[in-house]
Amino acid sequence: MDHFLYRDGNLFAEDVAIADIAAAVGTPFYVYSSATLLRHFKLFDDALDWTDHLVCFAMKSLSNQAVLKLLGDTGAGMDVVSGGEYARARAAGVPGDRIVFSGVGKTKEEMRMALEGGIRQFNVESEPEMKALSDVASSMGVEAPITIRVNPDVDAKTHAKIATGKSENKFGIPISRGREVYAMAAALPGLKVIGIDVHIGSQLTELEPFGLAYEKVAELTEALRADGHEIKRLDLGGGLGIPYEQGNSRPPLPTEYGALIREKVGHLGCEIEIEPGRLVSGNAGLLVSKVIYVKEGEDREFLILDAAMNDLVRPAMYEAHHDIVPVIEAPIGTEYVPYDIVGPVCESGDTFAKGRQMQPLQDGDLVAFRSAGAYGAVMSSEYNSRPLIPEVLVQGDQFAVIRARPTFDEMINRDTIPEWL
């Protein structure tokens, strides 16, 4: 469920007309619903109310400061994968004891930053990283709390570019080597082993892969406890998918996911962490764009929009589907026509949809990309020297620009020309 609904043929974000935001801000822009973000976070929080837990929002999906503060103020933790994300979480007021640091390539500088600023745990991904963290923590005279990310070699049945739990993926250590690597961690100074971490991928649309991975984690937990390790926390990752296409079969609900966790690892008495991103933020955002031209091709019509692949890269990068809807609906009974929907970037890959059935549209009409809150703004760029587009947050009948569109001068002036030119 989201809070983007039509009223008398006009698309609204909560109680604000999208057309009014477009008139004030200009297009293209992202718009997020506070009510949807909070509702989706609460679904996960409630799904784990049977045990001690922390729901850590995966910031890589959406990292605007206003969104982080909104979620942090309601009790969310944060899952960060870089020093920059750590700094963003702290700047948004999220305390260090609610931040987990994931990622395969943490640098010593990032480790030191987190240890100085406060951290709940590092999810360690390799032996070299573990040794580096030991060196940093020891040099500071502190202990770094760690889980070790294990790779369970489970097929998440998702897009190859977002699968993370198979043996050929770069993430974690093979679960078959778990006891060996945990023994190594216990022998290193400056580290305190507190649990196990696993994450098998993103946009999972069925529970079976989670179940297979969590069964392996449960077996490892019991083996590690038998070896003398204190395993009190299980970080079970994120990855639950959303329905990008209306009418398709629905992915599992957070309540079903929570029940699965209870079934597979509830008997272990561990504190549970999960790291949802897409399901919290995906359906909480729209990308709103304007039709620049309707172009007649030899055998098709093109809708040329003012949004492009640099603003929303998912269709070009993942062949991803987004429902694209008019901001002002045509009357009931209007006959739909097929369009290739494209952006202005000078690449054929700048195509959002082919042969998409839409109501007839004209130059200046507004359209909205649904389910664009996750991996939209965070993956955008200034390719073709197109400025980053605004982000807008709505709450009830209020809206605010939470990231402004830079001017051409602001964009250009970030470059520096050497004196010798």
The secondary element (H helix, E strand) that includes residue 125 is: none
Beta-ladder partners of 58: 79
Per the CB < 8 A criterion, the answer to whether 306 and 394 are in contact is: no
Rounded alpha-carbon distances, angstroms, from residue 179 to 148, 171, 185, 384: 11, 17, 10, 50
3-state DSSP assignment of residue 302: strand
In degrees and rounded to multiples of 5, residue 353 shows phi and psi of: -165, 150
Per the CB < 8 A criterion, the answer to whether 202 and 162 are in contact is: yes
Among residues 408, 407, 411, 389, which one has the least CA distance to residue 306? 389
How far is residue 159's CA from residue 318's CA, in Å, rounded to a whole number?
A: 8
How far is residue 394's CA from residue 407's CA, in Å, rounded to a whole number?
A: 23
Helix ranges, 233-330 (H): 254-265, 278-281, 314-318
Q: Catalytic one among 1, 346, 417, 421?
A: 346
**Cβ partners under 8 Å of residue 415, min gap 6:** none
| Residue with the two structure tokens 């897009």 | 159
Would residue 270 show up in a list of annotated catalytic residues for this protein? no
Active site residues: 346
